[in-house]
Amino acid sequence: MCIDCGCAPADHHHSAPHTKGGAKTISIEEDILAKNNRLAVANRALFADKGIFTLNLVSSPGSGKTTLLEKTLADLKSEIDFAVLEGDQQTANDAERIAATGVPVHQINTGAGCHLDAHMVGHGLAHFSLDKLQMLMIENVGNLVCPASFDLGEDFKVSLLSVTEGEDKPLKYPQMFRASEIMLINKVDLLPYVRFDVAKCREYAERVHPGIKIFEVSCYTGEGLDQWYGWLKEQVARKGK
């Protein structure tokens, strides 16, 4: 079973229960993340060889990942060759929205699974021309728990937190924000209408991950997007293609 939420990917192996004195003990025969980590290493090596900068976008449902992607792709696709892997439990709704930008996209439906894994990402890459690709955006399943534990081979995890969610999310889900090098505080255009303390949110994020890079953005007013775009361009140039 998944160490975080109880989902059961097919490659998780446990021994049969042993009964002794009325108590059952279950010994784990294989590190449930070992296979994923091996595949993530292979993905990362491929990205490095092809010069592809890769981001794993993670958040709660409704934080605005897809809208951020739409805006980012529309504004930068003339400067950067993008592709997108879309992860959802069901439907191709988000992939259809991304396809409307003209950027190559492939949908991965996880069914009952609550996260993408490295195996899914590796297979998804077959749908793209990697020799032309400069940046791969992976939109993970909306979930602040399990995706924190699964390395996909990305350069960075990017956590989105909208101002409608509450500034204490980094404290409630520390593993995710600890695993993320970048945090975007999204929907800042709504700050006049919601109770959200930006300073506290930044403080909480720094508490669980000192040095985390934070952008405050709005896809509707454009606030903060220039800084976000500038950072993306720097990373693509550094990765080199």
| pLDDT winner (highest mean) among 3-12, 77-86, 107-116 | 77-86
Q: Is residue 36 part of a domain?
A: no
Query: What was the pLDDT predicted at 87?
Result: 85
How many domains are contained in the chain? Answer: 1
| 93 band by pLDDT with thresholds 50, 70 and 90 | confident
Q: Is residue 27 part of a domain?
A: no
Give dist(CA 176, CA 180) in Å, integer: 6
| 211 band by pLDDT with thresholds 50, 70 and 90 | very high
What's the rounded mean pLDDT across residues 104-124?
85
Q: Is residue 59 part of a domain?
A: yes
Give dist(CA 35, CA 204) in Å, integer: 33
| 27 band by pLDDT with thresholds 50, 70 and 90 | very low
Per-residue pLDDT reduced to its tens digit, 17-26: 444 455 555 4
Per-residue pLDDT reduced to its tens digit, 126-181: 999 999 999 999 999 888 998 998 999 999 999 999 999 999 999 999 999 999 99
pLDDT for residue 224 is more than 90: yes
**pLDDT over 90 percentage in the chain:** 73
Per-residue pLDDT reduced to its tens digit, 28-52: 545 778 899 999 999 999 999 999 9
Give dist(CA 202, CA 137) in Å, integer: 24
pLDDT for residue 100 is more than 70: yes
Q: Is residue 63 part of a domain?
A: yes
pLDDT for residue 225 is more than 80: yes
Query: What was the pLDDT predicted at 103?
Result: 97
Q: Is residue 226 part of a domain?
A: yes
pLDDT for residue 220 is more than 50: yes
Query: What was the pLDDT predicted at 7?
Result: 55
More confident residue, 27 or 37: 37
- Give the CATH number, domain containing residue 154: 3.40.50.300
What's the rounded mean pLDDT across residues 84-89?
85
Query: What was the pLDDT predicted at 240?
Result: 78
Q: Is residue 3 part of a domain?
A: no
Q: Is residue 43 part of a domain?
A: no
Q: Is residue 33 part of a domain?
A: no
**pLDDT over 70 percentage in the chain:** 85
Q: What is the pTM of this model?
A: 0.86
| Domain with 192 in it | 51-239
